[in-house]
Amino acid sequence: MGNSLKDALKKAGFKASRQENERPMIKRKKKTKVVKHQEERNFCEVCKNVCPDVELYKHRNPTVDAQWICARCADIHQIPDSTRKSSQSDFAKKGMFRREFI
How confident is the model at residue 1, as a pLDDT? 53
Q: Which helix (H) or strand (E) holds 83?
A: none
What sign has the CA pseudo-torsion 43, 51, 75, 97? Answer: positive
How confident is the model at residue 32, as a pLDDT? 74
User: Is residue 45 scored above 90 in pLDDT?
Assistant: yes
Closest C-alpha to 40, from 90, 84, 95: 90
When pLDDT is averaged across residues 11-33 and rounded to a whole number, the result is: 76
User: Is residue 68 scored above 90 in pLDDT?
Assistant: yes
pTM of the entire predicted model:
0.57
Closest C-alpha to 75, from 52, 99, 51, 95: 99
Contact 61, 92 (CB under 8 A): no
